[in-house]
Amino acid sequence: AQYGPCSQRRMGAMAALELLDQLVDESDPDVDFPNSYHAYQTAEGIRRAHPDKDWFHLVGLLHDLGKVLALFGEPQ
């Protein structure tokens, strides 16, 4: 009920990817590259392994976007 209506904030996927770069991921705090880079790495790895599954490439790109909620007071 809290998140279903998307009343917290609305933004496009690219804006959310950019916001990921402001986040220090608790699961990987020592990484020296932006979090969005991980999303692109994941999508590219999936593309190489499964070139015929474009939906899977997209899932790889978007898989961590929910982490931006931590920037708005939600736990990671």
What's the whole-number mean pLDDT along residues 6-22?
A: 87
Q: Angle, to 10 degrees, between the axis of helix 13-20 and the axis of helix 35-49?
A: 120
Q: Where does the pLDDT of residue 29 fall: very low under 50, low under 70, confident under 90, or very high at 90 and above?
A: low
Residue 64 annotated as binding site: yes
**pLDDT at residue 33, rounded to an integer:** 83
Residue 30 annotated as binding site: no
- Say how far apart CA 72 and CA 20 lie, in whole Å: 12
Record the tokens describing residue 63, joined without a space. Answer: 């898989």
- Greatest CA separation found in the chain? 38
* pLDDT tens readout for residues 39-63: 999 999 999 999 999 999 999 999 9
User: How distant, in Å, are the alpha carbons of 35, 36, 43 from that of 49?
Assistant: 22, 20, 10
**pLDDT at residue 6, rounded to an integer:** 74
The answer to whether the predicted template modeling score (pTM) of the entire model surpasses 0.85 is no
